């Protein structure tokens, strides 16, 4: 899935890559958890690399699953009174590593502390540009997160940005410190695990449009364009079109449904449910629906949309996203990209997808 340029190493020497990672129990559908998992699995396929993932907790099933991909899971000691995430800075005695991969601020701030006691290379993976969210969230909070993220990148040996949009942003942020040449654009490719998914070739009575999200806050709701999705379906004025919102937090399904219904969509056209990131469950979901959309007003990449595309599902994505920028670079990819926040434009494209003849 990833193409990584690695320098040749002496024979029989295995690089030990170490991931600082937090186990997210409640919301597991973010780009971070997907990228973490896939990057670890793909690196472990290299004959000269050993991969361990440092996380707060895991089950025996998690360990067995990781072991099947030649990945080791490492859990730190939980110290009383300390923020659990900060316990990730305490590497178990005897754990040897040549390289540590940090992710963002939350899962990257531990790396400088670990580095004081261990000699290794530091790769900092960036998934977000908090400054971009300033229009929709707290500007001061976004600026502070941005400063911290950039400061971590300046100290790292290599910066990996997920997708072209983030790569361009961080090259600009790091020009003044002359670290812009350290930024690598890592654009995810097709997920091979979804290639065997078979889409229906017969027309259905209804046309189901999928949107995967969370709706944790009103700001997220607007940022991710969930309101735009509901308004686009309402714009079509035809109950054949159905909207399936997957990712409602526990206890918030009714609240999210009510917000979407206020955007003009009829209750008979709306389904709101929780998210399950198990690969077989996702594969089934991609078979059940007819189209996946990502109408985000801004989005660093958009891995869920890439997963849907990998399963052969038609997708429509925002032009203001890393995935949208990447699609524009491939033949016919621009047909899947919408450079508009007008629900009428999204409605027209949704209708066009439905009218297109299905094929094997």
Taking only the tens place, the pLDDT of each residue in 158-183 is: 999 999 999 999 999 999 999 999 99
Q: What is the per-residue pLDDT for 17? A: 59
> For residue 33, what pLDDT is reported?
72
Which pair of structure tokens corresponds to residue 134? 């300033």
Q: Which residue has the higher pLDDT, 18 or 233?
A: 233
3 state DSSP class of 11: coil
Q: Which pLDDT belongs to residue 9?
A: 39
For residues 345 and 93, which has the higher predicted lDDT (pLDDT)?
345
Res 287: pLDDT: 94
What pLDDT, on the 0 to 100 scale, is given for residue 209? 98
The CATH number of 193-355 is which of 3.90.1300.10, 3.10.450.50, 3.40.50.2000, 2.102.10.10?
Answer: 3.40.50.2000
> How far is Cα 162 from Cα 158, in angstroms, rounded to an integer?
13
Residue 219, pLDDT above cutoff 50: yes
pLDDT band at 217 (very low <50, low <70, confident <90, very high): confident
Architecture of the domain delimited by 22-191: 3-Layer(aba) Sandwich (3.40)
Q: Where in the chain is the domain with CATH 3.40.50.2000?
A: 22-191, 193-355
pLDDT (0 to 100) of residue 107: 86
pLDDT in tens, 304-358: 999 999 999 999 999 999 999 999 999 999 999 999 999 999 999 999 999 987 7
DSSP secondary structure letters along 281-345: HHHHHHHH-SEEEE--SSBS--HHHHHHHHTT--EEEESSBHHHHHHTTSTTGGGGEE----HHH
Comparing 119 with 70, the larger pLDDT belongs to: 70
Q: How far apart are CA 205 and CA 257, in angstroms?
A: 23
pLDDT digits (tens, 9 = 90+) for 268-311: 999 999 888 788 899 999 999 999 999 999 998 999 999 999 99
Q: What is the pLDDT of residue 4?
A: 34
Nearest to 38 by CA among 245, 251, 258, 307: 307
For position 20, what pLDDT does the model report? 55
Specify the pairing of strand 183-186 against strand 207-212. Answer: unpaired
Confidence of residue 22 (pLDDT cuts 50, 70, 90): very low
- Kindly indicate the confidence band of residue 137, based on its pLDDT and cuts at 50, 70 and 90: low
Q: What is the pTM of this model?
A: 0.82
Q: Helix (H) and strand (E) counts for the chain? A: 12, 13
At 292 the pLDDT is 98
- The pLDDT mean for the chain works out to 85
* pLDDT tops 90 at residue 77: no
Neighbours of 258 (CB within 10 A): 11
Whether the predicted pLDDT of 84 surpasses 70: yes
Pull the structure tokens for residue 165: 């949009």
Count of CB atoms within 10 A of residue 138's CB?
13
Q: Please report, for residues 186, 277, 280, 288, 308, the alpha-carbon distance to residue 197 in angstroms, rounded to integers and kept in the order given.
A: 25, 16, 10, 11, 10
Q: What is the pLDDT of residues 95-134, one digit of tens each?
A: 888 888 898 888 889 999 888 888 888 999 998 886 666 5
């Amino acid at each position: 899935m990833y193409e990584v340029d690695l320098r040749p190493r002496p024979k029989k020497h295995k690089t030990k890559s170490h991931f600082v990672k937090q186990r997210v129990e409640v919301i597991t559908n973010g780009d971070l958890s997907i990228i973490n998992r896939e990057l670890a699995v793909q690196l472990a396929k290299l004959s000269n690399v050993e991969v361990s993932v440092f996380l707060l907790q895991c089950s025996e099933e998690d360990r067995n699953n990781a072991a099947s991909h030649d990945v080791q899971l490492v859990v730190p000691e939980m110290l009383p009174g300390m923020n659990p995430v900060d316990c990730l800075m305490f590497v178990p005695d005897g754990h040897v590593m040549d390289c540590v991969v940090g992710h963002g601020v939350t899962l990257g701030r531990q790396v400088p502390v670990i580095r004081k006691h261990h000699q290794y290379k530091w790769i900092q993976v960036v998934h977000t540009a908090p400054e971009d969210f300033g229009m929709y969230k707290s500007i001061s909070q976004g600026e502070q997160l941005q400063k911290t993220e950039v400061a971590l990148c300046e100290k790292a040996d290599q910066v990996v940005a997920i997708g072209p949009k983030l790569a361009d942003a961080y090259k600009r942020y790091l020009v003044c410190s002359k670290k812009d040449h350290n930024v690598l654009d890592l654009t995810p490719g097709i997920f091979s695990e979804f290639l065997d998914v078979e889409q229906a070739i017969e027309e259905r009575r209804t046309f189901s449009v999928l949107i995967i999200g969370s709706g944790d806050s009103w700001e997220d709701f607007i940022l991710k364009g969930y309101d735009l999705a509901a308004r686009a379906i309402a714009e079509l004025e035809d109950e054949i079109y159905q909207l399936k919102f997957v990712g409602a937090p526990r206890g918030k399904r009714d609240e999210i449904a009510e917000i979407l219904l206020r955007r003009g969509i009829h209750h008979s056209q709306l389904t709101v449910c929780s998210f399950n990131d198990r690969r077989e469950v996702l594969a089934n979901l991609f078979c059940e629906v007819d189209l996946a959309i990502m109408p985000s007003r801004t989005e660093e990449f958009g891995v869920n949309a890439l997963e849907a595309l990998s399963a052969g599902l038609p997708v429509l994505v925002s032009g203001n996203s890393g995935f949208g920028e990447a699609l524009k670079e491939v033949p016919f990819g621009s047909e899947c990209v919408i450079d508009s926040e007008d629900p009428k434009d999204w409605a027209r494209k949704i209708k066009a997808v439905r009218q297109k003849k299905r094929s094997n």
